[in-house]
């Protein structure tokens, strides 16, 4: 069976043998456009067969082999929550409790069940497959260029940007609330509560897709 004959999921590359998981608000649309350009991800996503939330669930796809690696997109919890709050404030479909009250009160009012279901670590680590490579929204180009199939001169498009609502809030207070509510994400992905321009040390560029799986 050829690569083209294999079932093509929105987040599965049979050519490069990887599965990509991307929870909401981690710059997934920008990464998706790059992956479609440089590998064999389904260019028709979203579609009836592969709805828009296909990359946001984390069950290991049946069509992916045991030797496929797991690539996951993440984002600093503070900026991820702000992006989601802006999304809801702008009138888009969401699960927030009155986003017009501002990002702090809105997050404080979210149930623990919602927090558990929306946190990056709970979503990504829920799959039976351990994480092999992280794409950090804070530095997309560096992350992507460390993948063996992405060229060094890649230009990452910016898509899906939301506007900033005219509501003042206490940034320090919101950072603390985010830290308290999404503590697992900070701990497991190495984020710091107060970082504003997070500089992280990228992994070595992967030249061989058959490398040993490692737990992040």
Residue 96: predicted pLDDT: 73
In a domain, 213, yes or no: no
Report the range of poorest mean pLDDT among 38-42, 139-143, 191-195. 38-42
The number of residues in the chain equals 216
**Residue 61 belongs to some domain of the structure:** yes
**What's the total number of domains in the chain?**
1
Q: What is the pLDDT of residue 141?
A: 87
Q: Give the residue, 129 or 194, on which the prediction is more confident.
A: 194
Asked if residue 194 is part of any domain, the answer here is no
Cα(35)–Cα(43) distance, integer angstroms: 9
Q: Is the pLDDT of residue 103 over 70?
A: yes
- The residue that leads in pLDDT, 166 or 192, is 192
pLDDT at 205: 40
- Report the pLDDT averaged over residues 40-57: 57
Residue 208 lies in a domain: no
Residue 39 falls inside a structural domain? yes
- Please report the pLDDT score of residue 56 as a whole number: 52
Q: Tens digit of pLDDT for each residue in 14-34?
A: 899 998 888 888 988 888 888
Q: What does pTM read for this prediction?
A: 0.79
CA distance 169 to 208: 47
**Domain, as residue range, for 37:** 3-189
CA atoms within 13 A on the CB side of 169: 23
Residue range 56-82: mean pLDDT, rounded: 83
Residue 155 falls inside a structural domain: yes
Residues 113-166: tens digit of each pLDDT: 999 888 998 888 766 678 899 999 988 888 999 999 999 888 887 665 555 666
The pLDDT of residue 94 is: 64
216 in a structural domain:
no
Q: Is residue 198 part of a domain?
A: no
What is the rounded average pLDDT of the residues 61-72? Answer: 85
Average confidence (pLDDT) over 65-71 = 88
Q: Which residue has the higher pLDDT, 188 or 196?
A: 188
pLDDT for residue 58: 53
Q: Does residue 175 carry a pLDDT above 90?
A: yes
* DSSP per-residue letters across 12-58: EETTTTEEEE--SSSSHHHHHHHHHHHS---TT-SSSSS-TTGGG--
């Amino acid at each position: 069976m050829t690569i083209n004959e294999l079932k093509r999921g929105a987040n599965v590359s049979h050519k490069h043998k990887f599965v990509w998981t991307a929870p909401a608000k981690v710059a997934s649309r920008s990464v998706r456009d790059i992956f479609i350009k440089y590998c064999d991800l389904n260019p028709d996503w979203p579609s009836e067969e592969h709805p828009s939330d296909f990359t946001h669930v984390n069950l290991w796809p049946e069509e992916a082999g045991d030797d496929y690696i797991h690539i996951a997109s993440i984002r600093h919890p503070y900026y991820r929550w702000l992006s989601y709050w802006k999304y809801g404030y702008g009138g888009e479909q969401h699960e927030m409790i009155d986003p017009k009250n501002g990002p702090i009160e809105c997050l404080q009012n979210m149930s623990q069940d919602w927090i558990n279901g929306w946190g990056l670590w709970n979503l990504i680590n829920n799959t039976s497959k351990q994480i092999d490579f992280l794409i950090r929204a804070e530095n997309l180009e560096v992350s992507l260029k460390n993948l063996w199939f992405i060229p060094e001169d890649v230009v990452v498009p910016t898509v899906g940007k939301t506007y900033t609502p005219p509501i003042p809030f206490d940034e320090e207070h919101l950072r603390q609330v985010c830290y308290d509510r999404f503590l697992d994400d900070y701990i497991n992905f190495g984020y710091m509560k107060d970082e504003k321009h997070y500089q992280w040390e990228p992994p070595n560029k992967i030249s061989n897709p058959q490398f040993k799986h490692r737990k992040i």
